[in-house]
Amino acid sequence: MIVFKGFNKDMTCTMGRGTFKYQLGKKATADKAKTANTGLHSTREPFGILRYYGKLGTDVHCICEAGGDISEDEYGKVASTELTPLQKLTPQQLAMYEAVFVQKHPEICSTRFRERETDNGFYAIARGKNPEARGKRGTVVILLQEYSRSKKIKQIEAYNIDGKVNRAGWYKIGGYVGDKGEAEEA
């Protein structure tokens, strides 16, 4: 099962009353797995790890493979007897995984997004009927457009603000709308 896990900058995390050091590509093991009790903890929702390891740009965030005995709660929190960190993710990559997760699993998505958003230095995610987001160079703008009569995601658009292809400023579904944004130009 593909899951996400956060770590301190040295790839350690709290395990019971101590810490455990993980290594990329190396399987960690535990004797038992029970969510919120024992085992190697992770989450199906990418941003779920930010509740515990939320220092973007400092903490390490990884996509992992959970195996062995797996225990999962209704919110997507996972405990397993095997966990292998596969790849470190940038905050921008983590945001892209979150956008896809929101589209595929709206029933367990715990993250709430506003319809109009500005970047946090890494990404800006806006969700709604007419999402708008502003990004500066080095960030990613992600727009999650909902269907007109439901909260399900109709469309995702993402823009890597590199200063060449995509300029800094406001974006709506369909692309760039300017430095001030359509709502501010009126």
List residues bridging with 111 in a β-sheet: none
Judge whether residue 185 has pLDDT over 60.
no
* pLDDT tens digits, one per residue of 40-70: 999 999 999 999 999 999 999 999 999 999 9
**pTM, rounded to two decimals:** 0.91
User: 57 CB contacts (<8 Å, ≥6 apart)?
Assistant: 91, 121, 122
Question: What tokens were used for 15?
Answer: 């395990």
Residue 89 has phi, psi (to 5 degrees) of -115, 140
SS3 153: strand
Query: H helices within 9-112, ranges in order?
Result: 91-104
Split at pLDDT 50, 70, 90, the class of 161 is very high
SS3 113: coil
Q: How many CA atoms lie within 13 A of 120 on its CB side?
A: 12
User: What is the percent of the chain with per-residue pLDDT over 90, rounded to a whole number?
Assistant: 81
Residue 58 has phi, psi (to 5 degrees) of -120, -55
Cα gap 149→98, rounded to integer Å: 23
Q: What's the pLDDT score for residue 182? A: 54
